Amino acid sequence: MYDLDDLLERTSRTYALTIPFLPEPTRHEVAIAYLMMRVVDTFEDAETWSTAARCEALDAFGRLIHFEADPDLAETQAFAARLDANPPSSHAGYQELLHELPGLLADLATVGRAQRDRIVLYTQKMIDGMKETLRVSERRDGAIVIESLAELRDYCYFVAGLVGEMLTELMLLDAEQLLPAAASLRAKARLFGEALQLTNILKDSGVDAKEGRSFLKDAARRSEAFELARSDLRTAAEYIDTLQKHGAPVGYLGFTAFPVKLAIATLRQVEAKGPGHKISRDDVARALLELQSALDTNARPVPEIDGI
Tell whether 12 and 22 lie within a shared domain. Answer: yes
Phi, psi of 71 (to 5 degrees): -70, 160
pTM: 0.92
Same domain for 204 and 94:
no
What per-residue confidence (pLDDT) applies to 204? 83
pLDDT at site 170: 98
Same structural domain for residues 51 and 158?
A: no
In 10 A of CB 66, how many CB atoms?
11
Residue 281 sits in a domain of what CATH number?
1.10.600.10
Which of 142, 176, 200 is the last residue before a domain boundary? 142
pLDDT digits (tens, 9 = 90+) for 96-141: 999 999 999 999 999 999 999 999 999 999 999 999 888 877 665 5
- Residues 99 and 38 placed together within one structural domain of the fold: yes
Q: Are residues 133 and 196 in the same domain?
A: no
Answer yes or no: do 154 and 9 share one domain. no
In the chain, the percentage of residues whose pLDDT exceeds 90 is 78
Co-location of 129 and 167 in the same domain = no
pLDDT over threshold 90, residue 231 = yes
**Together in a domain, 255 and 114:** no
CA distance 248 to 26: 12
Question: For residues 62 and 15, which has the higher predicted lDDT (pLDDT)?
Answer: 62
* Alpha carbon distance 231, 157 (integer Å): 16
- Calpha distance 81→301 (Å, rounded): 45
Within this chain, do residues 163 and 49 fall inside the same structural domain, yes or no?
no
Note the pLDDT of residue 222: 83
For residues 122 and 163, state if they share a domain. Answer: no
SS (H, E, C) the chain: CCCHHHHHHHHCCHHHHHHHHCCCCHHHHHHHHHHHHHHHHHHHCCCCCCHHHHHHHHHHHHHHHCCCCCCCHHHHHHHHHHHHHCCCCCCHHHHHHHHCHHHHHHHHCCCCHHHHHHHHHHHHHHHHHHHHHHHHHHHCCCCCECCCHHHHHHHHHHHHHHHHHHHHHHHHHHCHHHHHHHHHHHHHHHHHHHHHHHHHHHHHHHHHHHCCCECCCCHHHHHHHHHHHHHHHHHHHHHHHHHHHCCCCHHHHHHHHHHHHHHHHHHHHHHHHCCCCCCCHHHHHHHHHHHHHHHHHCCCCCHHHHHC
Number of domains in the chain: 2
Mean pLDDT of 231-258: 98
Provide the pLDDT confidence category of residue 239 given band limits of 50, 70 and 90: very high
Residue that finishes a domain, picked among 119, 142, 165: 142
Higher pLDDT, 29 or 218: 29
Short-list 50, 38, 40, CA closest to 93: 38
Q: For residue 239, what are the domain limits?
A: 144-308
- The reply to whether 121 and 48 lie within a common domain is yes
Quick one: 129 and 153 in the same domain?
Answer: no
Q: What percent of the chain has pLDDT over 70?
A: 92
Contacts of residue 221, defined as CB under 8 A and 6 or more positions apart, other chains included, come to 149, 152
Domain boundary among 142, 170, 200: 142
- pLDDT-derived band at 208 (thresholds 50, 70, 90) equals low
The average confidence (pLDDT) of the chain is 92
What pLDDT, on the 0 to 100 scale, is given for residue 95? 96
